[in-house]
Amino acid sequence: MEKPVFVINGFLDSGKTSFIRDTLNDPQFLASGKVLLILCEEGEEEYDEVELAGKGVSIIAVEEQEQLTAEFLAGLEEFYKPNMIMIEWNGVWKLLDLMDLDMPANWAVTQIITMVDSTTFPMYINNMRAMILDEVRYSDVVIVNRCDDSTDRSAIRRNIKAVNRKAMISYERADGKEAGEFEEELPYDMSKDHLEIPDEDYGIWFMDASENPQNYEGKTIHFLSMLYVSPKLPKGYIVPGRMVMTCCAEDTQFSGFLAKLPAAVDPDSLRSRMWFDITAEIRVQRMREYRGKGVVLYITKMIPVQAPADPLIYFS
């Protein structure tokens, strides 16, 4: 029988200990049996080991990452025989190293939760972008805490979704209560039928259109794009898009939607990495390439242009 492993990730003072302590005070969580809590970081807040022991929670501290070997983890399994495992991961250790660990055969990483302090997130993004985005890249849930009315949740969300589209993001206030839902503020006017998308807004448009394609049905769009052309695409289709930087210049991805060429354009005349000024009608269709419904651009005008001075697009 597999034993669930819950990983709590985040920088120092991001709220990991408070979250774990609250979780371990939940009778429903403890109903499954004995819990082994592996601490890979010592924060300002501490656990009441005596109280937790009375609830069936055992705590083991790990000071150096090198301690986390297959033999060490197997020894913990043999000695404690837990029903589930929680790991408070060290925020400066790479999360990918944890995923590469040779854990006991009956341990299964069930959920990775990353804690983010909204008050320090902008500083980390500006100064340690690759490091903080690596923390959320593999997360199932990202909890953004210490939010208030001035928190730019849209910017935080865009940065997280740039590297992890599937992550569920939750926002909490300083008192731990949910900050509530919020409506994404888009930099263009969705009440209009025609959307002008400058380079600085392309990443926001692509992300929102990917998640809410129905909102764009029937609109026309105008943007600068680089082409992707492949015989693997349906006949008469290309993908106009942009190279988007997610966390660093070495970590980019091509982001674009399928597009139907006008009948007057010869597909054989097009090559990947050609640049065009594109005007298209947006439709939402079921396509095999999407494995479901998604945005399809019906190009009405395409004008060849020179590549821009900075070809990269940024999500933030």
Kindly state whether residues 14 and 154 are assigned to the same domain.
Answer: yes
CA dihedral 201, 204, 206, 210 (to 10 degrees): -160
> CB neighbours of 203 closer than 8 A, spacing ≥ 6?
158, 162, 242, 244, 255, 313, 314, 315
pLDDT profile of the chain (316 residues), mean per 10: 94 89 90 94 83 94 94 96 96 90 94 94 86 87 92 88 87 84 80 95 92 96 97 96 77 92 95 98 96 96 95 78
Of 37, 100, 88, 90, the C-alpha closest to 64 is 90
Kindly state whether residues 9 and 93 are assigned to the same domain.
Answer: yes
Kindly state whether residues 152 and 298 are assigned to the same domain.
Answer: no
Please check whether residue 154 lies inside any domain of the structure.
yes
Res 12: pLDDT: 81
The answer to whether the pTM exceeds 0.75 is no
Kindly state whether residues 208 and 305 are assigned to the same domain.
Answer: yes
Give the range of the structural domain holding residue 157, as residue numbers without chain letter. Answer: 3-173
Number of CB atoms found within 10 A of residue 204's CB? 21
Question: Can you tell me the distance from the alpha carbon of 240 to that of 299, in angstroms, rounded to the nearest whole number?
Answer: 10
Q: Which of 173, 203, 221 is the last residue of a domain?
A: 173
Kindly state whether residues 19 and 74 are assigned to the same domain.
Answer: yes
Kindly state whether residues 212 and 146 are assigned to the same domain.
Answer: no
Kindly state whether residues 7 and 153 are assigned to the same domain.
Answer: yes
Please check whether residue 183 lies inside any domain of the structure.
no
Number of domains in the chain: 2
Kindly state whether residues 221 and 285 are assigned to the same domain.
Answer: yes
Res 133: pLDDT: 83
DSSP code of residue 178 = B
Kindly state whether residues 150 and 252 are assigned to the same domain.
Answer: no
Please check whether residue 143 lies inside any domain of the structure.
yes
Please check whether residue 186 lies inside any domain of the structure.
no
CATH of the domain at 256: 2.40.50.140
